[in-house]
Structure formats: C-alpha cells, structure tokens
Structure 1
Amino acid sequence: MFSAFMRLSLVQRIIIAIILGIFVAIVFPSATPYLSLLGELFIKALKSVAPILVFVLVLSSIANFKIGGNNAYVKPIMVMYGLGMFLAALSAVIASKIFPSTLLLDLPANTTLLAPDSLAQILKNLVLSFVSNPISAISEANFIGILAWSVALGLAFRHSSETTKLFLTDAAEAVNKVIRLVISFAPFGIFGLVAVTFADSGMQTLVSYGHLLAVLLGSMAFVALVINPVMVAVVTRSNPYPLVFQCLRESGITAFFTRSSAANIPVNLDLAKRLGIPESTASVAIPLGAAINMAGASVTITVLSLAAVHTLGIPVDFTTMLILSVVATISACGASGVAGGSLLLIPVACGLFGISTDVAMQVVAIGMVISVLQDSTETALNSSTDVLFTAAVDRGLK
C-alpha cells in the first residue's frame, strides 16, 4: 500500500493526506498530539533548506542568464513581464486589504510585531538587511540579505568562466534535488498538520482555508481578466479579449494540469507559431517567460505574506504595500526553479515585516495544503501570460 501511495502524483497524495488528517481529527482526536511531530518535522525541514535554496538558485539564475538576439522584441516583452508581475502583486495587496485573511498559526506567547512607522525606517531596515554578512544572513534566515547577496554575486559571476557557471548550475540542481526530496514527504507533514489543526479548531480551519483560497484565486482571476487585458489593449490598441481567451484556453488549461511553466513551453511555442509570432522572437521570449514571468507567484507570495501580517495584527501603510509589491515581484522571478514554486519564497516577503522564519514556514505549510488548486491556477496564469505578452508586443510593433 505504501508503494502504491508513493507512485501517485504529489497532488493526489496531498488530497489523500488532507482527507485522512480530517478523518483522524474527527474520529481519533486523542491521537493528534502524537501526529504533531510529522508537521513539526516537515516545517523544520522547510526552514532548514529554504535559505540555501534562495541563495544558490537566484545566484545561478543570474550568473547563467542569457538574452540572445532580437532585442528589439525582447526588451519590451521583458518590460511587460516585469510590469505585469508588479501590478499583479499590487492587486493582491489591495485584495488582501479589502478581504483580510486570518491564519491558524502556532505563535509563541506574547507575540507582538509592529510595522515600521515611516518610509525612512523601512529603508533603513532594508539597507541594514542588504549589507548583512552573507554567512550570517543564511544562518539567521535573513532572506532580504540572502536575496541581496545572491543578486550581487550572480552579477559578478556573469563574467566568470563557463566552467564556473556550469558548477553553479550543478549546485542549483543539487539543491533542487534536496528540495524535491523534502517536498516528496509533504503529504506526511500535511497529514500531521491537518489532523492537529482540525482537532484544535474544527470547522474554523475550513473557513480559514476557504477564505484564503478565495482571495488567492480571485486575485489571479482579476489579473488574467482585467490587468492583463488592459496591458494588451494599451500595446495593441485593439480589443484584447479574443487574444486573452485564446491564450487562456490553449495554454492556460494545459498548464493548469501539468503545473509546470517549463513543461508548457512546447505548447506555447506551437501557439505562438499559429499566432504568427516570428520564431526568432518566440524562441527567446517564451522560454525566458517560463523562467522569470511569474505573475501568479507574485500574487501567492503577496496574499500569503499579508495573511500572516493580518493574523499577527501588524499595521501596514501604503508605502509598505508598494515595497512589498516590489519585493514580491523580485522574489517571484526566482520561483520557477523552486520545487514547491512560490511558496518557499514567502519568507522573503515576510522578512520585510520582521516575521520570524518559524512563523513564515507555518504559512508555507498552509500554502502546501491549498496548493492543489493554488499551484495549478498560478501556473495557468504564469504560462498563458508568457505567450499573451509575446503576441501583444509582436502585434504592437507590427
């Protein structure tokens, strides 16, 4: 039975784990204290690998990043990618403020956190985090510092030898294998977390998860059906919805079930060819988009981070919202190489509010529970937007 269970897809195993966790919480509530160890081990494993993952992955991605030719087309496409992710994060901030989510977290006693009271304080905290010693940043899980050092070293390594770049690629792949191993045990951790949470909170858990999922999926739908069409209309000066719906239908549906932007590249290339996009443009822009164009990821990072912020009672002003949108956009660019996608980059955004890694990893674990729908919808938005923006720029320039 165990072998048959492990042969199932990760989504199927997570669904089974959620059902079993609820069943145990209802029928055997006295057993849940013993099952809490499974959830604690899973969160601890995520906490231990996340810092080195962000550092190595972003460093390797920047060091090996290549644009290629046809820059006249690629540059405006990259601008649309970046702007689209920022607007997606900003819309998620607004949605989270209008419909705030509350999470059921295991918080230390007397936990009180306050947001910085001014722009000067925010910038001071960011600068101090940026210049943190890289070893200290990794050991203390200072994700802002980790991100800063990985970007700086990645830019420096762009001028290194091909052998060095190959080593960085191999290092990133090695870390990814460790992450995939940890994620493969997610169903067991989720089983323990769901059992304990339902035993403690009952139906309140379903309400909390349902509300969070509604905000996430609603924000992604708003990006796909409002923000992206407006951007396409500005570029093409025409009705954007025929192109938007075609990309969602022919690219988004496939990506929803494959849950991989990289695996959906052939589908997007074929669609780009039928849309009349030159191969020289599509062959660069679409693989590039699969690596860095992550509007859905920026929504996920923003919504889950602000859910933790609201749960902890941290006040957030407009300036902090804008900075969070920028941080979520930058973080989302690194989400494609992470097994588990955007979820493991949530601590980067949480670090902006001084939220501890322990709490941030509990938020990641909650994200794993709802990832059955969240990750599929996120990938559908990410991948369909790749070919949508590429086609929009091509038509606009023509």
Structure 2
Amino acid sequence: MSNSLFKKLQATSLVNQIIVGIILGCIVAVVAPETAKSLSILGGLFVEALKAVAPILVFVLVVSSIANQKVDGEANLKPIVGLYLLGTLSAALVAVFMSFTFPTTLSLDLAGVEASPPQGLQEVLSTLIYKVVDNPINAIATGNFIGILAWGLGLGFALKHVNASTKTMVHDVADGISAIVRVVIRFAPFGIFGLVANTVATTGFSALQVYGELLFVLLGSMLIIALIVNPIIVYVITRKNPYPLIFICLRGSGITAFFTRSSAANIPVNMRLCKQLDLHEDTYSVSIPLGATINMAGAAITITVLTLAACNTLGINVDFGTAVLLSVIASISACGASGVAGGSLLLIPLACSLFGIDNDVAMQVIAIGFVISVVQDSAETALNSSTDVVFTAAASHHISKNL
C-alpha cells in the first residue's frame, strides 16, 4: 500500500507536489505551531543543497553554451538574435520599473546578517571589477557569481576552437551537473513544506500576502512585455498591426508552454507553429532551438524582481544607474538559465552579489522563488517560448520584404 502511494507521488508533477507542500505546511503551522517551527530543518537542508550546486551549475552551463554555440553562416539569423537580446534586456528594464513602482519585501531569516550596501554606482562598478578577476576556484568555493560568470565566458570562448570531442565532453559535464540539480529540485516540495510551515507558524499568514504582492509584480511585468513591449518591437520591424501575430503565438505556443514549464519541451510545438505561419524552415529550424536557450525575457524579469525585493528587505537603496547595470547583468544571466524547472531562480545569487547580499540570504530568496514557482515558472516559460515564434516571424517577414 505504501509502495503504491509512493509511486503515485512520484508520478505526480512537481507543480502539484509543491502545491501539496504549501497546503500541508499551512495546516501544520495552524494545528501544531511548535512542530512547524522545528520543520525549518527541511527548508534549511533544501537551501543548503541549492547553495552547494548553484555555483558549479552556473559555471558549467555558461562554458558549455558558449563552447558549443554553432556559428551559422546564414545572415538572416542576426536580426532574430538581435531581437532576442533586445527583448530580454527590455524585460529586465520593465522589471526594474515595476519593482520601483510597486516595491516589495520578503520574509527572510536575517539573524546574524549584516547588510553592507554599496554607496552608489561607482562602488558597485569597483566591486564588480574586483569580483571579475577573482581566482576561479575561489569564485566557485565562495559563491562569487560575477567571477564565475566571467571565467565561464572566458573559458567558453577559449573552447569554441577545440575539437568536437572536447566540446562534447563539456556538454556532457553540463548535462551531468544539470541532472544533479534536477535531483535537488525534486526535493523542493519537502523544502517548501518546511519553509512554509515555519514561516506561517512564526509570522502568521501575512507572509502569504507577501507572496501575492511578489507575484503581482512578476506577472504584471510579464504581461507588459507580452502585450505592450513585444507588439511595439514587432510593429517597428513589420509596420503592420502586431496583435494578430502576438495572439496567435500566445495561443499556439504560450498555452502549451504554460503547462509543460519547459522551453525545450515546447520546441516541437513552436516548429509546427512556424510552419503554419509559412516561415522559412532554414531560419526557424535554427532560431527556435536557439531561442529556447538565449531568449529569456521571463527569466530576466524573475531575476530582477526577486533581487530588488531582497534589496528592499535589507534596506539597500538602489539608484537608477545601478538598476540599469542590474538589468544588463540579469539579461546576461538569463541567457545562461538552466533548462530545468525553476532554472532562472538559481541565477539570483549572481544578481544579488552586485549589492553585497550574503549568499545565505540569496539562497533564501531562491527558496521563496520555488514557493511561487507554481505560477511564476509557468508564466515565465509561456512568455519565453511564445516570444521565440513572435521574433522569428517578425524578423522573417522583415527579411522577406527586403529580398
């Protein structure tokens, strides 16, 4: 009987397991608050596991994605890649605007945490430079994500010119680390159960209201990108009403991606949609898989909003110049997001390190991200995947018009 129940739980989707974890956490917090507080060990173990795998994951993913990047001779991919990067940066800037307009705070355990906020853009840039030139081993060991990103980019570009077997090995290592991360994430329901139980028992249900406010900023930013910014970009390129294309892509790609929560799994859906739109197969057969890797508007929004929420919680004042720098870092980070569910959350420490936020605090922010990922990750994937087709179609029409 117990084996049958265990198998049913294993077969249940991660989203449903997280929902069950949240509900059970709330119930335990109400029925037995003292027991709920002792369950914080489950949340602590989950946070520590994330802390252990995140630095090496970011490093190998960046190295692998750069080293294995295919250089395509078709010039018509350039405008599509440009749109992917523009869309991701625009998303981060919209997230900054929404975070400034609707500032949110998080329920974090700040015992023993001493915030040392930077004194403006000059200090941020100075700290950034020193983090970039950190020893790579030390960067991974201490969770210096800026240094990890810099060394990952450098080694990735250096390995672009090695033989194919070496590139395959790098790709296999990245897949191996990603597999370990998937195992850690499979324990998210238990970690979230412990976190929610402890949080509700300690602070009451007001903490859940914070999650609602956070989701409002995240989903509001994603809707602005999907229904305002993307249509503007499409109109500038095609000089046609963009909304028929936008709604076709949201309906044909976004809905499926919302439930699969994987841009990679949605690639066949997007390829079929591109064929229905009568786009050039030579173009979309490359741009769609590429978009699933680097077109990460939703991820940029998640990284930016949660980082600024952490800054608000710690009382760190973020000026406009630093916020723009954060947008650039979030955009670059988003392009290296892991393909696993909640992969963008694992890049939050990179952005947090800009503001001197302790790695332990950043991992708590990731854990909160997993609590809201039931909705956030689905909406993020829907935006990312549907935008792949939107920009491929817009750029292809532009190209066709100029042939």
TM-score range (shorter-chain normalised) is: over 0.9
Is the contact between residue 67 and residue 284 of structure 1 (CA under 8 Å) also seen in structure 2? no
Which residue does 1:91 correspond to in 2?
Answer: 94
d(CA) in 2 for partners of 1:265, 1:17: 30
Q: Secondary structure at the match of 1:335?
A: coil
Q: Does 1:175 align with 2:155?
A: no
**Aligned residue for 1:12?**
16
Question: Between Structure 1 and Structure 2, how many residues are aligned?
Answer: 396
Deviation of 1:339 (Å): 4.5
Give the RMSD, CA atoms, in angstroms: 1.0
Give the corresponding residue for 2:28: 24
- Answer whether contact 1:113 1:313 (CA < 8 A) is retained: no
- Whether contact under 8 Å (1:76, 1:393) holds in the other structure is yes
Distance (Å, rounded) in 2 between the aligned partners of 1:159 and 1:337: 25
Q: Which runs of 5+ in 2 are unaligned?
A: none
Structure 1, unpaired ranges of 5+: none
**Alpha-carbon separation, structure 2, partners of 1:281 and 1:331:** 25
Q: CA deviation at 1:67?
A: 3.6
Given that residues 304 and 363 in structure 1 are in contact (C-alpha distance below 8 angstroms), is that contact kept between their aligned partners in structure 2?
Answer: yes
2:37–2:197 Cα contact (<8 Å) kept: no
Q: 1:318: how far off?
A: 0.8
> Counterpart of 2:284?
282
Deviations 1:50-105 (A, max 9, x none): 0000001110111001142322x100001100010001000000100110111000
Identity of aligned residues (%): 61
Residue 32 of structure 1 deviates from its aligned partner by 1.7
2:323 corresponds to = 321
Equivalence for 1:351:
353
Structure 1 stretches of 4+ moved >4 Å:
none
- 8 Å Cα contact 1:88/1:223 also seen in 2: yes
Report whether the alignment pairs 1:133 with 2:135: yes
The 2-side partners of 1:185 and 1:211 are apart by 26
Q: The residue matched to 2:114 in structure 1 has which SS?
A: coil
Match of 1:156 in 2: 158
Counterpart contact for 1:291–1:333, Cα < 8 Å: yes
- In 2, distance between residues paired with 1:376 and 1:301? 15
| Residue correspondence of structure 1 range 60-209 to structure 2 within 5 A | 60-71=64-75, 73-109=76-112, 111-117=114-120, 119-209=121-211
TM-score (norm 1): 0.98
Amino acid at match of 1:107: L
> Quick one: distance in 1 between partners of 2:264 and 2:130?
36
Deviations along 1:272-309, one digit per CA (max 9) or x if unpaired, are 11112110001011110011100000000000011001
DSSP-derived class of the 1:102 partner: coil
One-letter amino acid of the counterpart of residue 132, structure 1: D
Secondary structure of 1:65's counterpart equals coil
Would you say the 8 A contact 2:38–2:198 is kept in 1?
A: no
Structure 1 residue 338: deviation in Å?
A: 4.3
